[in-house]
Chains A and B, each alone.
Chain A
Amino acid sequence: MNSTLYARRKLWNGLFLMLSVMAAAFGLIWLGFILGALFYNGFAAISSKLFVQMTPPPGEDGGLANAIVGSIMMSMIAVLAGTPLGLFAGTYLAEYGRYTRLAFFVRFVNDILLSAPSIVTGLFIYEIVVVKMGHFSAWAGAASLTVIVIPVVVRTTENMLLLVPNGLREAAAALGAPQSSVIRAVTWRAARAGIVTGVLFAIARISGETAPLLFTALNNQFWSTDPNAPMASLPAVIFQFAMSPYEDWHRLAWAGALLITATVLTLSIIARVLQPKRSH
């Protein structure tokens, strides 16, 4: 009687532990499949032309130069605009308003924005920028990416500032430093690695963003660095090319996909290595 009970419990135990090993294998296998297919198809399509020629009409040779430059330009504008805003907002949450009702509310809304559908961000910018300007533009694309950058930076900045021991703040304040100097010279400096991590995560997040760009920056078949005009971006070009029936466009889409993924994975791995361990 007892021995069958033991045997049954051992059996269940073994069964479920095996299932959880299989769950981990399930996740890792998909990651392997996706990266494998991406490298296989992407590397076959990568050539030096990719970086110097423009996106071609179907049936012709070409590259992705305008899309690469467009993606870099819009991401840079978004990071340059979003980082300071996110940094200040995160600083308010961690340093000034830590326990206030306003901070609680901002934190709540920020976390919703962090996971809100990015396509809705695109609609928002379409309404307030594209409709007002009367045309699609890289400014609008960058603005929609900024809206995605801000919550990421706010969240990581706040988390990282909260990790800074209060003793440091008190020591600086005891020397007579005004609070703003304490924050800038001591807390920010102590949390620098973490804040940089947040910015890297934000860059990684926006470099693959497609949905908000579709109806803000639109796309552009030609070379353009004018932020007032529609601009090509890697994700938008991949979307257009992959959905098309043309073989050579598909190849370019794979090459673009590989470029984006390589960038994003490198950034997120660097960010993870830099990330300070949580201490609890």
Chain B
Amino acid sequence: MADIALAEQMSSVPERAAAVRKGGARDSRFRFLTLCAALLVLAIFGGVMASLIIGALPAMQHFGWSFLYSEAWNPVTEKFGALASIYGTLVTSLLAMIVAVPVGIGIAIFLTEICPRPLRRPIGIAIELLAAVPSIIYGIWGLFIFAPWFQENVQTWIVDTLANVPYLQDFFGGPPYGIGIFTASLILSIMVLPFISAVTRDVFETVPPVLKEAAYGLGCTTWEVMWRVVLPFARSGVVGGAMLALGRALGETMAVTFVIGNAHHIQKSIFAPGTTISATIANEFTEAVGDLYLSSLIEMGLILFFITFIVLASAQLMLRALERRAGSAS
């Protein structure tokens, strides 16, 4: 009896071995396929870097470091410098963050502490929809609706009021065009709000309830709990979210292109038209004639990529560290 069973088993061994081998072969093929796809992500990144550097070489050789600090932008005489664009990119993003960070944190506090529970999800989704609206929609809205309204109702008033105040008149002076650095910054701040509030809210939710309860138990008000307990605990997450938003703001193209005015000068007034790296590329790339002009635009792309890489990489590192902490706590 036992012999028969053994014989039967023996007969099926080669078949099974074949099946296992086949499975193994399929396994390694599949694994290889997924590995290739993963490497493709790295290849894309490397490709972006390499192609930008190669494209920018002629401009780099021609202008050297002066490209970074020259304000000249003259396609006719082929004198190019990125300073005005870099300035515009940094200033618009910075102004956007000044508005978006406190408001984004405020929204996160609202969503985690104040909002009635049934409304939390819908309001949270509505705020996140601000990020889903394509940037070109912000652009067309800014150009046709917001800028004219702002010019007529707010800007004229501010310019008039501050006309004789020393210092402030420089920063808020000039003819009220409606479009310009300030309008671009405000629209950017609305666009990046959801990135800050979403990350901040998620981090707030990782704060152990015991900490909050202990603070409430000591008699703290809601605000004191948020400011003294929750925010310090969630600090690196909030900073990470803000950096993520900053990365977005720096590279944002269409919304800014519509409303910034595309002027290659640096002016003191934040109401004056300016330009950013991405707006310059979007406006001029297809019309650029001559290798040096194209190459200069590509070098600006390289600068933009470099700046956003640093900002986004630090955002990643902060958020990663946080994830690990949350992972080990749970």
Contact = CB atoms under 8 A, between A and B. Distances in A.
A280 interface: yes
Contacts of B27: 178-180
Contacts of B138: 34
B157 interface: no
B6 interface: no
A257 interface: yes
Contact of B37 (A37, A89, A102, A120): A89
Contacts of A272: 125, 128
Interface in B141-165: 141, 143-146
Given A121-B48, A124-B52, A180 B136 contact: no
B188 to A, nearest CB: 12
Interface residues on B, range: 35 or more
Interface string A232-252: 000100110011000000100
A99 interface: no
B180 interface: no
Contact of A111 (B102, B222, B316): B316
A239 B254 contact: yes
B308 A116 contact: yes
B301 A120 contact: yes
A102 B41 CA distance: 11
A214 B286 contact: yes
A174 interface: no
A128 B251 CA distance: 21
A20 B244 CA distance: 21
B143 A22 contact: no
Nearest to A14: B223
Interface stretch (A48-56, A60-68, A72-80, A205-213): A205-213
A89 B34 contact: yes
A244 B136 CA distance: 15
Contacts of B42: 105-106, 109
A169 to B, nearest CB: 14
B312 A116 contact: yes
B133 interface: yes
A109 to B, nearest CB: 5
Nearest to B297: A123
Contact of B248 (A91, A115, A204): A115
Interface residues of A, number: 93
Given A121-B48, A235-B136, A103 B145 contact: no
B289 interface: no
Contacts, number: 273
B197 interface: yes
Contacts of A238: 136, 140
A9 B253 contact: no
A13 B221 contact: yes
A218 B286 contact: yes
A97 to B, nearest CB: 7
B68 interface: no
B75 interface: no
Given A27-B107, A92-B37, A253-B140, A265 B251 contact: no
Contact of A127 (B54, B128, B244, B286): B54
In this complex, the member of A127, A269, A280 whose beta carbon has the largest number of chain B beta carbons within 10 angstroms is A127
Contacts of B301: 119-120, 123
A257 B137 contact: yes
A28 B127 contact: yes
A21 B52 contact: no
A242 B144 contact: yes
B321 interface: no
A113 B308 CA distance: 10
Contacts of B250: 117
A19 interface: yes
A116 B132 contact: no
Contacts of B247: 115-116
B102 A28 contact: no
Contact of A117 (B54, B221, B308): B308
A38 B142 CA distance: 11
A211 B254 contact: yes
Given A116-B308, A117-B252, A269 B125 contact: yes
B52 A123 contact: yes
A268 B41 contact: no
Interface string A9-45: 1101100110111111011101101100110010000
Given A118-B251, A120-B48, A180 B129 contact: no
B23 A181 contact: yes
Nearest to B29: A180
A87 B36 CA distance: 12
Given A19-B106, A242-B143, 14 more contacts: A13-B221, A20-B113, A108-B316, A112-B313, A112-B316, A115-B248, A121-B48, A150-B41, A183-B30, A211-B254, A253-B140, A257-B136, A261-B134, A265-B133
28 contacts: A13-B221, A16-B226, A17-B109, A19-B106, A20-B109, A38-B137, A86-B37, A89-B34, A92-B38, A97-B35, A116-B305, A116-B308, A117-B308, A119-B282, A123-B51, A150-B41, A180-B31, A184-B30, A204-B132, A208-B137, A210-B135, A218-B286, A242-B143, A253-B140, A254-B144, A257-B137, A265-B129, A269-B129
Interface of B: 23-24, 26-27, 29-31, 33-42, 44-45, 47-48, 51-52, 54-55, 102-107, 109-111, 113-115, 123, 125-130, 132-141, 143-146, 190, 193-194, 197, 221-224, 226-227, 244, 247-248, 250-254, 257-258, 278, 281-282, 285-286, 298, 301, 304-305, 308-309, 312-313, 316, 330
